[in-house]
């Protein structure tokens, strides 16, 4: 029969050692002799090999550093750590930790306590922020405010959801559009491309020499994004006919004729440089109808208008769009 190799006790055994001897001999966690970390003094990011990890406070950076420094015994599962931090001075924290883990079905605990020393530096992102660093300029240009607002909002959203190293040093409205100074050429190029895919239009990339580093030219890139004057869903008046924009992709717009026979066509956005964009549509009250003869109330003039519906129209709603002094009816 198996017995404990240390004391001769009978099973249950874990790796031929009884539970009592396991508790006396297995130490589940320990720490290196020195705990020294590098933290950014302005954003609390923790320096780890190759990069910086973002944290909201020194305490959370210290906690992460301490936990990731723990050296665990082999063959453990369900490791857990409870930390208590006490600041000794701005660059020293005493950390007490209760560690728990499962070893061969046995729950074991051990306490750790050590001082973490902090060396403060400034991370790359913070030093770039402070220095007004930027690699690229993204210029958004369009004649239509609604298009500009939507594009600018998209860029801000992208910056907000990106890691800290992608930021806008400066940004603001300029004549004809909006400019962003951005910290990454690569991200600026990707954003310009995404804007073009979402809103249509085209991108013009230029660069200028801003200096030399390590024997190579340093270039600053400018991405000029020219967007159309309309968005998907807008109504355009082309040669006295109303079209709705149903799709935009780079240089092409898909338009749907809003009267019978409701044909669709692709057009080059460049041919629609100064389109007549209709105001938002209003609902139309149908006064009476007889077959395809309708009496409608024009919501802009409050006058009744005789109109003929498209052939075999069995829709329910009529909408009105206004351009200049003229009202156009859309049969939905």
Q: How far is the CB of 202 from Zn ion (least distance, A)?
A: 37
Query: How many Å apart are CA 85 and CA 33, to the nearest integer?
Result: 18
Touching Zn ion, residues 37-56 (CB under 5 A): 40, 43, 45
Contact between 277 and 236 under an 8 Å Cβ cutoff? The reply is yes
Q: How far is the CB of 107 from Zn ion (least distance, A)?
A: 18
Instruction: Mark the segment that binds Zn ion (CB under 5 A) among 4-12, 93-101, 168-176, 225-233.
Output: 4-12
Does 21 help bind Zn ion (rule: CB under 5 A)? yes
Q: Which is nearer to Zn ion, 46 or 140 (CB)?
A: 46
The count of residues interacting with Zn ion (CB under 5 A) is 11
Work out which of 26, 58, 101, 123 binds Zn ion, going by CB under 5 A.
Answer: 123
Q: How far is the CB of 121 from Zn ion (least distance, A)?
A: 9
Does 128 help bind Zn ion (rule: CB under 5 A)? no
Q: Which is nearer to Zn ion, 8 or 233 (CB)?
A: 8
Work out which of 14, 70, 96, 126 binds Zn ion, going by CB under 5 A.
Answer: 126
Q: How far is the CB of 60 from Zn ion (least distance, A)?
A: 14
**Three-state SS annotation for the chain:** CCCCCCCCCCCCEECCEEHHHHHHHCCCEECCCCEEEEEECCCCCEEECCEEECCCCHHHHHHHHHHHHCEECCCEEEEEEEEEEEEEECCEEEEEEEEEEEECCEEEEEEEEEEEEEEEECCHHHHHHHCCCCCEEEEEECCCHHHHHHHHHHHHHHHHCCCCCCCEEEEEEECCEEEEEECCHHHHHHHHHHHHHHHCCEEEEEEEEEEEECCEEEEEEEEEEECCCCCCCCEEEECCEEEEEEEEECCEEEEEECCCCCCEEEEEHHHHCCCEECCCCEECEEEEEECCEEEEECCCCCCEEEEECCCCCCCCCEEEEEECCEEEEEEC
Q: Which is nearer to Zn ion, 19 or 254 (CB)?
A: 19
Q: Which is nearer to Zn ion, 34 or 106 (CB)?
A: 106
Q: How far is the CB of 130 from Zn ion (least distance, A)?
A: 9
Q: Which is nearer to Zn ion, 43 or 85 (CB)?
A: 43
Work out which of 6, 202, 252, 256 binds Zn ion, going by CB under 5 A.
Answer: 6
Touching Zn ion, residues 139-158 (CB under 5 A): none
Work out which of 4, 118, 155, 258 binds Zn ion, going by CB under 5 A.
Answer: 4
Work out which of 2, 3, 7, 32 binds Zn ion, going by CB under 5 A.
Answer: 7
Q: Which is nearer to Zn ion, 123 or 258 (CB)?
A: 123
Burial class (CB in 10 A: 0-12, 13-18, 19+), 30: middle
Q: How far is the CB of 144 from Zn ion (least distance, A)?
A: 39
Q: Which is nearer to Zn ion, 8 or 261 (CB)?
A: 8
Q: Which is nearer to Zn ion, 22 or 95 (CB)?
A: 22
Burial class (CB in 10 A: 0-12, 13-18, 19+), 227: buried
Does 96 help bind Zn ion (rule: CB under 5 A)? no
Could you list the residues that contact Zn ion (CB under 5 A)? 4, 6-7, 9, 18, 21, 40, 43, 45, 123, 126
């Amino acid at each position: 029969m198996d017995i404990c190799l240390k004391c001769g006790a009978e099973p249950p055994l874990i790796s031929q050692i009884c539970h009592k001897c396991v508790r006396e001999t297995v130490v589940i966690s320990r720490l290196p002799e020195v705990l020294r970390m590098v933290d950014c003094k302005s954003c609390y990011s923790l320096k780890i090999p190759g990069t910086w990890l973002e944290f909201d406070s020194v305490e959370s950076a210290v906690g992460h550093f301490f936990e990731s420094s723990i050296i665990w015994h082999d063959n453990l599962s369900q490791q857990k750590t409870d930390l208590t931090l006490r600041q000794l001075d701005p660059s020293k924290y005493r950390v007490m930790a209760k560690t728990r883990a499962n070893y061969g079905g046995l729950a074991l605990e051990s306490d750790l306590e050590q001082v973490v020393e902090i060396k403060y530096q400034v991370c790359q992102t913070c030093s770039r922020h402070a220095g007004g660093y930027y690699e690229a300029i993204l210029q958004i240009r369009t004649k239509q405010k609604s298009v500009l607002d939507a594009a600018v909002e998209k860029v801000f959203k992208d910056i907000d959801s990106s890691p800290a190293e992608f930021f806008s040093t400066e940004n603001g409205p300029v004549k004809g559009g909006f400019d962003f100074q951005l910290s990454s050429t690569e991200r600026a190029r990707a954003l310009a491309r995404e804007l073009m895919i979402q809103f249509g239009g085209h991108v013009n990339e230029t660069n200028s020499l801003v200096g030399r580093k390590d024997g190579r030219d340093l270039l600053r890139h400018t991405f000029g994004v020219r967007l159309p004057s309309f968005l998907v869903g807008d109504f355009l008046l082309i040669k006295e006919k109303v079209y709705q924009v149903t799709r935009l992709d780079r240089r092409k717009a898909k338009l749907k004729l809003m009267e019978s026979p409701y044909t669709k066509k692709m057009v080059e956005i460049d041919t629609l440089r100064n389109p007549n964009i209709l105001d938002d549509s209003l609902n139309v009250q149908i006064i009476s109808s007889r077959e395809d003869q309708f009496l409608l109330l024009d919501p802009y003039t409050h006058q009744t208008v005789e109109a003929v519906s498209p052939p075999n129209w069995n829709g329910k709603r009529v909408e009105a769009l206004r351009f200049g002094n003229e009202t156009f009816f859309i049969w939905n």
